[in-house]
Amino acid sequence: MDTLWLHIVQWLHTLGLHVDGGTARAVGDAAASATAQLDMPSLLALAAALGWASGFRLYAVVFLVGMMGVLGWMPLPPGLAVLQNPLVLGASGLMVAVEFFADKIPGVDSAWDLLQTLARVPAGAFLAAATLSPDGQLSSGALAAGAGIALASHGLKSGTRALLNTSPEPASNWVASTAEDGVVIAGLALAIAHPWIALVVVLGASVLGALLVWWTWRALSRGLRRLFAPPAA
């Protein structure tokens, strides 16, 4: 499992969290025996749900999953055991509070989404791959799938929010942000209670997000071509 812990520690260092590899390894080994209680459908659903929810609320996902492990509500796979570390819980809890308010201010939310693109997609890929890596090796297929799901949900969120920001009143923005908070919590709960249903929902939402990204790109491309097209003679 050394390879996995090296990835975990390096990722945390990029976030400014300096957790030594020995601590992460000790936490992960303690959770390894409990991981056997999670069957493959549950692991697949959890991996997909984490990747998908990370595209909406990365820090809430990290905090909630870590707390579920600490409180004993569910056994965490070895790759996610580091989320129970007090430093990770404290940092993610602080960022949850920051994101809660930043995401509800029109204009600020879009800037926040743009900035968080650098964190949500790779973190979603990492969380999904770590969920499915009992041997400590991060699968390239799982990384790619997690990144794709996180990118799709992030595109759905960012695109919808950009459209809402064209409205002069802030109420629609607040409603959308609050709804996203609820969706993340409900998605994680569904992955635990009904893994197959959660997997279908996540895949469907990811396809919708991918279509939205494609449609938005086409619309922007057409608009730019018309804007810079030479005037007709």
Evaluated on CA atoms 200, 203, 209, 212, the torsion sign reads negative
End-to-end Cα, the chain, rounded Å: 68
The C-alpha atoms of residue 214 and residue 66 are separated, in whole angstroms, by 34
How far apart CA 12 and CA 6 sit, in angstroms, is 10
CA–CA dist 52, 66 (Å, integer): 17
DSSP states of 2-63 as a string?
Answer: HHHHHHHHHHHHHTT----HHHHHHHHHHHHHHHTTS-HHHHHHHHHHHHHHHHHHHHHHHH
Asked if the structure places residue 227 within a domain, the reply is no
Q: Is residue 22 assigned to a domain? A: yes
pLDDT at 4: 44
Does 231 fall in a domain? no
Distance CA 158, CA 67 (A): 27
Residue 233 lies in a domain: no
Name 225's Cβ contacts closer than 8 Å, sequence gap at least 6: none
pLDDT of residue 208: 73
Question: Is residue 63 within 8 Å of 92, Cβ to Cβ?
Answer: yes
pLDDT values of the chain reduced to their tens digit, one per residue, 233 residues: 344 445 555 555 555 555 555 555 554 454 444 444 556 767 777 788 888 888 888 899 999 989 988 888 777 777 788 889 999 999 999 999 999 888 888 878 888 888 888 888 888 888 888 888 766 567 778 788 888 888 877 777 777 777 666 666 666 778 878 888 888 888 888 877 777 787 788 777 767 766 766 776 677 677 767 777 676 55
Query: Which pLDDT tens digit goes with each residue over 15-35?
Result: 555 555 555 555 445 444 444
**217: in domain:** yes
The Cα 226–Cα 230 span in angstroms is 9
How does pLDDT run across 53-97, given as a tens digit for each residue? 888 888 999 999 899 888 887 777 777 888 899 999 999 999 999
Query: Is 226 part of any domain?
Result: no
- Assigned domain for 228 exists: no
pTM of full prediction above 0.85: no
Q: Buried b vs exposed e over 197-217: b needs ≥16 C-beta within 10 Å?
A: ebbebbeebbeebbebbeeee
Domain count, the chain: 1
On whether residue 168 sits in a domain, the answer given is yes
State the residue range of the domain holding 60.
2-221
